[in-house]
Amino acid sequence: MPTLFRKIKEVKNFIRGLRASAGNSFSVGFVPTMGYLHEGHMELIKKSKLQNDLTVVSIYVNPLQFGPEEDYERYPRDLERDLAMCGEAGVDVVFAPTDEEMYPETPKVKIEVEGISNVLEGVFRPGHFSGVALVVLKLFNIIQPDRAYFGEKDFQQLKLIQRLVKDLSYPVEIVPVPTVRDKDGLALSSRNTYLKEYERESALSIYRSFLIAQKLFRAGNTSANTLKEAIKEYISKHPHVRKIDYVEIVDEDFNIKEGEVSEGDRILVAVWIGNTRLIDNWRLSYEEV
């Protein structure tokens, strides 16, 4: 089983001691999570294990990134289950602080990344990315990793963290890991547990709409509007789709594309399936799926 720490000072001292005894070549990989781990998290851990001497996983449901009407209270939590999964995956250290440990006082710092914080997810979840940025930078300061691993499924979050690290000169390499999908194409997410069995077919419309857009793109349809409308039309005809928050296409710098799209651009969607809000994205490519 991994060594579990609940206190900031204790995990910092432990990692500092390992670095001191192992020398300059000792590397620390870090996988920040909100727990209720799945195979997507396991891919992040696997990558870290391959590239580092020590792998640290944080398990913390950060209240600052949830809005007042969001699912903070019902977000799935099971620390014993997560520790067992971390043990099977060979994780060395788990840091699972309490709210009181992470935020003994209400933080006064607000972090915003221009062009990323206030579009798409930032519009529909005001303050979300300020909370994400604060907790990730705080965790970086605690763990002081050489590399940190983030899934491409949360693409906007990934771009936000990459920009923060670049602009603030943080000495950590951000390693993106491709989205992990179930056999039927549904992107793995802890929130998938909210889906009722009869809603899953409607949830699969997201992945299938990406395949439609990909086919159109490979056939020479490079209009952002054409691809977006095809996605909206396909998803919206499914019975348990309550609302589409957005369908947009961005480039690698997270600029929203209005005209023609190119290989490497990303389709990003947010869709309500019943009472479950799912996000997903797809990289446009000329390669056949």
Q: What confidence tens digit (pLDDT) does each residue in 229-244 have?
A: 999 999 999 999 999 9
Same domain for 88 and 198? no
Q: Is residue 182 part of a domain?
A: no
Instruction: Please tell me whether residues 19 and 116 are part of one structural domain.
Output: yes
Q: Summarize pLDDT for 81-135 with one digit per residue, the tens.
A: 999 999 999 999 999 999 999 999 999 999 999 999 999 999 999 999 999 999 9
pTM: 0.97
Q: Which of 41, 128, 238, 240 is catalytic?
A: 41
CA atoms of 65 and 187, how far apart (whole Å): 21
Residues 117 and 204 in one domain: no
Helix axes 200-218, 224-236, angle to 10 degrees: 150
Task: Give the model confidence (pLDDT) of 149-206 as tens digits.
Answer: 999 999 999 999 999 999 999 999 999 999 999 999 999 999 999 999 999 999 999 9
Dist. CA 165–CA 171, nearest whole Å: 8
Of the residues 177, 212, 245, the one at which a domain ends? 177
In contact, 75 and 81? CB cutoff 8 Å: no
pLDDT over 90 at 288, yes or no = no
Is residue 41 part of the annotated active site? The answer reads yes
Query: CATH number, domain at 235?
Result: 3.30.1300.10
C-alpha 33, offset from chain centre: 8
Q: Do 10 and 133 have their domain in common?
A: yes
274-283 per-position pLDDT tens digit? 999 999 999 9
Segments forming the whole domain that contains residue 270: 190-283
Residue given tokens 């195979």 in the structure block: 39
Handedness of CA 99, 125, 167, 111 (dihedral sign): negative
> In 3D, which of 224, 215, 188 has the Cα closest to residue 288?
215
How far from the centroid of its chain's Cα atoms is residue 93's Cα? 20
Tokens 């095809």 -> residue: 230
